[in-house]
Structure 1
Amino acid sequence: MPAWLQIAISDPWSVLYAHGWVASVVAVLVILAMRVRAVGRDGNVDAVSTRDRFVFFLLAIGAVLVFLAQELVRDLAATMFVNPDWTTNFIWWRYVGPPAALIVPLILAAVVLRRARRDVEVRVPPTAARDWSTFSSRSSLWCASVALGTLASVSILAGMQSSQAVDGAFRLLRTRGYEIYGDSRALQEEGMDYFGWSYSAPVLVITGLAVVAVWFVLRENALRPYRRPETAAGEAQVRSALASSATLLLTGAVLLTTAIALRDIGNAGLPWGFMSTESIESIPIGGEFEALSRVLLALAALVRPVGLTLVLLGGTVWWLPSLIARRGLYTAHGAARSVTEVGQ
């Protein structure tokens, strides 16, 4: 049996967690292909303003940054940039990568949208009061709220179980180890690096800043006036797409952060060693929360691909299919024109 197959059978959740991005990319490509066909069937590719295109471009950059952050900043930081010894392995920023990667692109997008208030060609009287949630899907906002609530709950509950390390950071999970003296066992407190207050507090702060940035984008997107009456309906569709993209990006980044935290919490609760003596074959060190840890590891493996899918969709699904369809229409129109000229 190949080694990779043995690993997949023995620890499928680790394989899914590590390589779930493949399933996410495949799912996104399928959805994009379906969107391209839908746009092609409609035959109506709505033109958007230059500012709208630039905002979509910024959101796409945000999606790329989130993808890179969750792959590099967190997963490789502990092995590449710091001492792997758990007693000195404290880097407060290792969990904040996904939400932090969104902040700058979102702020830039909000600034661009605010400047769009100058682009009015013919004033369109407002027909109803608008606020930041006018063009946002209620289901998208609900999903984002659930994701934020889950991350906040995990952060608070994990922080309440954390203990202080020798460096002063609240980042250890205390488990019960054993020292063997002949046939007797004496309890010894051990600690594993863990998603404690020193990690979860920065995550909550940075995530809060990302939420404020998304709110700023949604507000400026909703309150800017329409350019002219005849394009109001199309502009409303574009604004709904922008709002959905920003909300998807936030939800995906929050889910990725939650998955990373659940993964580390689960690993901290597993047995981290064994002791053997002549009278006792082996005694696990740690692992009092092993059953719960297995559940958390499974949840992390399932949540991470979902978060990646939402991030990639948020950066592409509302503009890339239209661009591909528009290029296809131009190509088809050019080919038909060439055939007509040859026939003449």
Structure 2
Amino acid sequence: MSIAALHHLTDAAACPRIVLKIGSSLLVDGEGQPRRAWLDSIGEEIAALRRGGQDVVVVSSGAIALGAARLGLEKGGRGNLADAQAAASVGQIALASLWSDRLGAEGLTAAQLLLTLDDLEDRRRYLNASSTLARLLENGAVPVVNENDSVATQEIRFGDNDRLAARVAQAARADAVLLLSDVDGLYDRNPREAGARLVPVVEGVDDAVRAMADGGSSSGLGSGGMVSKLQAAEIAGRAGIALAILNGTHDAPIARAVEDDRGTLFLPLRRDRGRKAWLGGRLSLKGALTVDAGCAAALAQGGSLLAAGVTAIEGAFERGDAVAVRDPQGRAIAHGLVEYGAAECAALKGRRSAEHAALLGYAPRAAVVHRDHMVLL
């Protein structure tokens, strides 16, 4: 049984494992205080999902907002990086305590997992996180995940928990991601505009869907707008994971959305697993290779990327680094692990395989990016 409608999200047969992402504005009020009544409600829903036979992983924002209130920092702790890191250090203790107490009241054990971008971009660390999540779930715990904002810098952070939730879903081998937001879902235009219509189902995120996205969050507390949610849907969808955007501002928001059939469900169109799912969801890439139209067409048919089709190179990457592959219009069409460093790629660019040995001074490899180490987007 596969997920085809919102009510399948609470059906253990269709959705055995779920990742629930909760934004700052739902958990913390404008004064930086926990919204305890709402937290009680969502705790009951998590317990109900567990009783129904579903594993639940929570991705929870709120540390910076909670910490900023305790430290008296301006702009909710987001005025600068130092404030954000200090606020996160204080707030993460408060956030973990909130979840431990609330889930404990339902007879559930909470486990804290703090991650940075590098933890899920590096293959070995990704596998370690995946193993930890699997072990916690096997033992009946509810992992509560957040970005480790106390140490993450601008260059090595997710920046929002929407994309983090999608990557965690890959690592946890989840079936669906629920993004609780301050809107009902994706609208065909800014929901503040007259005539805006909710889009109930999306089968693949394309340029037309991206054009619907509005970059703002009404609360002012969070960092993830609709653009980041669509990026999360793409990451999840490549790994065969459904994603739903639901309005979390009500009590019992999951049950309400399912009963009213109100939200946006993104259906996955493919099912990459293992290494290819990890590679397709990469957010931090070391460089890019632009290819000609013929090469792009060959890649779409399952071919490897050969040097003869490369027209431009960006970045200072080494062999084994993850790079983007772009078509002549500059659109990213694939991610891959490159077989040569940037300097070698520059020497081989546009040259046929028969010339490579003379150019390199050693026996060349089969491809610049082999199809076994590449995933189409």
TM-score interval, normalised by the smaller of the two chains: under 0.3
Structure with bigger helix share is: 1
Q: TM-score, normalised by structure 2?
A: 0.19
Q: TM-score, normalised by structure 1?
A: 0.20
Q: Which has the higher contact order (CA 8 A, sep 6+)?
A: 1
Structure with bigger strand share is: 2
